[in-house]
Structure 1
Amino acid sequence: MDIPRAMYLVELALEMCRDVLAPGGSFVVKVFQGEGFDEYLREIRSLFTKGQSS
């Protein structure tokens, strides 16, 4: 799978998470580093108490 398509899928997952995840809930996603990764990680960190990359 190419990086842009993979990023599209994780963005959809985050969008769904915003709609259905209860406050204080957890969101785990595997994201490949590439175009859009840093921006996505910043968005995760702005929405959740802890955003981690490894």
Structure 2
Amino acid sequence: MDTAVMIESELDPIEEIRLRTWARQNYLPRELRDNSWHPIILEEMLRKEKEQNHASQ
């Protein structure tokens, strides 16, 4: 099983929302991110990038 999937399944929904909100409020470009951050945070920052790229097209 993928590590990110295992970690996601262990989170309760409130904690996941908290992590995703933190990621959006504290967004950093990819080169400034710490790869040791929680996978949900990294995933949400990637989502935000994709949304920004889509909106600018």
Tell me the TM-score normalized by structure 2: 0.35
Higher helix share: 2
Tell me the TM-score normalized by structure 1: 0.36
